[in-house]
Amino acid sequence: MKKTLITVGSLLLVILVAYGAGIGYYAEKFQANTEFATVDVSNLTLPEAQAKVEEVLLNKEITLTENGQEVGSIGLAELNPTFNTEEALTVTYNSQDPNQWLGNFFQSDEFNADLMSNVEIDQENLNQKLSELGLSNDQRQAPENAQINYSQAEGYTVSEAKDGNQLDIEALRQLILDGIQAGEEKIEINQAFLKPEVTSDDEVIGQYMEQIEQAKDTQITLQIQGEEVVIPAEKIESWIYFDANNQMVFDEAMIQEYVGELNEQYSTFLRPRTFQSTLQGEVTVEPGTLGWSIDREAEAAQIAEDLYSGQDVKRETAVVGTGYNSEGSDIGNTYVEIDIANQTMFIYKDGEQVFQTPVVTGQVGTDTIPGAYAIWDKQENAELRGYNPRTERDYVQPVDYWMPFDDTGQGIHDANWQSSFGGTTYQISGSLGCINTPPEAMATVFELVEVGTPVVVF
């Protein structure tokens, strides 16, 4: 019995000595089964553990692939790393109680430290390595943002955003570092491709398209001499663009072109007219000063203003010239008719003939120029001045009444020097182009005819 007690006591003493030796041993070492960020640092001193962790890190290498094809590999050692692992390892070391060393033989301590947060790499080295692997953006396709496009055939449409293969270099760096940290063997670099900044679903695209649709839906009805013209939506759409501040603008130069198209259809400037004459039936009257056109600048500015307001509108167009009226005829039913062949002047008011008189028109060589004109002035006791090509002399001729109607000097006036009017008088003593009128008739003509009255000469 005594022998047995001695044996047990000796065994306990050995165990105690061994346990104490273990405490002394692990007072300066990591305990058994200790992993620091997947690196086994069991039974290593702090400097030894730091050296091993750094060695493991230096041996880390990651393969880069692009769309499944290998493009190269990068090892951490190539990036000239600087390690700051001592502090994290020290915290781990101090968290272990040497008195508990025996328990670690039966369990493991795993410290999931973020190694890469304690590693600094040389960014220039990484850039150079990426460049060596051809991972620069020099030959790569940039992503394309969704865009609003215009074509005459389709109007405004949205083109979808397109992915490219240019790299977000900063994202690629982080991807590589994260991969090394996570112990990954491969990284797919298309995860670091630059993405389009604007897609077709973005709110800004929707806002622009909504503005365009609202503008297209604005109905502008132009009233032109009794006709109504609704500006087509596709025309409005073609005038839209967005300025540097992304504000919708209507191109007034293009609107002026459209007004010019309307003038080609409706304007009466420089156009022959058919006219129902008193003695000759329907005749063709050559262009003269009578006529109107839509004022391109004023009308374009008004159309743009209407579009900016976004309100439907119906209105008369802005016109320049003479003879415009909503009934569709710039001669109307109040006018002066001068029939050169019959050497007669007729005056009509509201469609009724109110006066008629024989006249003398221009002599051959100084003919009265046919055309549609309008009285633009009325003067009493006037002096007519000009040059007589037949006598090759300047002249001054006083008259009682003067009513000019074109821009070359033609007009209606009394002519007390004429011995007769009508017939063939104009062939031998015709005027220089004016309408010579009997003095006794001229006073009535002057009274009946207002400024602006059309004068039809044929």
Identify whether residues 9 and 67 lie together within a single domain: yes
Amino acid at residue number 212: I
CA distance 212 to 215: 5
Q: What is the pLDDT of residue 225?
A: 87
State what percent of residues in the chain have pLDDT above 70.
93
CA distance 351 to 71: 93
Last residue of a domain, one of 132, 162, 187: 132
Identify whether residues 187 and 238 lie together within a single domain: no
Confidence check: pLDDT of 2 > 70: no
CA distance 288 to 275: 14
Q: 330: pLDDT confidence band, cut at 50, 70 and 90?
A: confident
CATH code assigned at 399: 2.40.440.10
Confidence check: pLDDT of 291 > 70: yes
Sign of CA dihedral 385, 443, 453, 381: positive
Last residue of a domain, one of 269, 292, 322: 322
Q: What is the pLDDT of residue 81?
A: 82
Confidence check: pLDDT of 7 > 80: no
Confidence check: pLDDT of 173 > 90: no
Average the pLDDT over each of 17-31, 165-179, 421-435 and give the range with the smallest value.
17-31
Q: Are 377 and 289 in contact (CB under 8 A)?
A: no
Identify whether residues 421 and 359 lie together within a single domain: yes
Identify whether residues 212 and 316 lie together within a single domain: yes
Identify whether residues 216 and 267 lie together within a single domain: yes
- Mean pLDDT of the 376-385 span: 97
Q: 14: pLDDT confidence band, cut at 50, 70 and 90?
A: low
**Number of structural domains found in the chain:** 4
Please check whether residue 142 lies inside any domain of the structure. no
Q: What is the pLDDT of residue 182?
A: 73
Q: What is the pLDDT of residue 49?
A: 83
Confidence check: pLDDT of 61 > 90: no
Global model pTM greater than 0.75: no
Identify whether residues 271 and 231 lie together within a single domain: yes
Sheet holding 352-358, edge to edge: 352-358, 344-349, 335-339, 454-457, 371-374
Residues in the chain: 458
Please check whether residue 392 lies inside any domain of the structure. yes
Q: What is the pLDDT of residue 181?
A: 67
Please check whether residue 279 lies inside any domain of the structure. yes
Confidence check: pLDDT of 320 > 90: yes
Q: Which of 78-87, 152-161, 170-179, 421-430 has maximum average pLDDT? A: 421-430
Q: What is the pLDDT of residue 22?
A: 75
Please check whether residue 453 lies inside any domain of the structure. yes
> 60 exposed, middle or buried (CB, 10 Å; 0-12, 13-18, 19+)?
buried
Identify whether residues 120 and 181 lie together within a single domain: no
pLDDT in tens, 216-269: 999 999 999 889 999 999 999 999 998 988 899 999 999 999 999 999 999 998
Residue carrying structure tokens 């091993």: 52
Q: Domain residues for 69?
A: 2-132
- Mean pLDDT of the 313-321 span: 95
State what percent of residues in the chain have pLDDT above 90.
60
- Mean pLDDT of the 293-311 span: 97
- Both tokens of 333, joined, read 């039913």
pLDDT top residue among 392 and 122: 392
Q: What is the pLDDT of residue 446?
A: 98
Q: 124: pLDDT confidence band, cut at 50, 70 and 90?
A: confident
Q: What is the pLDDT of residue 274?
A: 93
- Mean pLDDT of the 159-167 span: 93
Confidence check: pLDDT of 119 > 80: no
> 102 exposed, middle or buried (CB, 10 Å; 0-12, 13-18, 19+)?
middle
Q: What is the pLDDT of residue 38?
A: 76
Identify whether residues 8 and 127 lie together within a single domain: yes
Q: 338: pLDDT confidence band, cut at 50, 70 and 90?
A: very high
Please check whether residue 141 lies inside any domain of the structure. no
- Mean pLDDT of the 114-142 span: 80
Q: Burial code of 218-243, b = ≥16 C-beta within 10 A, e = fewer?
A: bebebebbeeeeebeeebbbbbbeee
Active site residues: 413, 434
Confidence check: pLDDT of 422 > 90: yes
Please check whether residue 327 lies inside any domain of the structure. no
Confidence check: pLDDT of 100 > 90: no
Confidence check: pLDDT of 156 > 70: yes
- Both tokens of 156, joined, read 């405004």
Identify whether residues 125 and 185 lie together within a single domain: no
Rounded to 5 degrees, what angle do the CA atoms 432, 390, 402 make?
25
Q: 5: pLDDT confidence band, cut at 50, 70 and 90?
A: low
Residue carrying structure tokens 């182009």: 433
Last residue of a domain, one of 105, 132, 159: 132
Average the pLDDT over each of 55-64, 132-141, 269-278, 321-330 and give the range with the smallest value.
321-330
Please check whether residue 140 lies inside any domain of the structure. no
Please check whether residue 137 lies inside any domain of the structure. no
Identify whether residues 415 and 315 lie together within a single domain: no
Identify whether residues 90 and 167 lie together within a single domain: no
Identify whether residues 180 and 293 lie together within a single domain: no
Q: 393: pLDDT confidence band, cut at 50, 70 and 90?
A: very high
Q: What is the pLDDT of residue 1?
A: 60
* Residue 193 CA, distance from chain mean position: 29
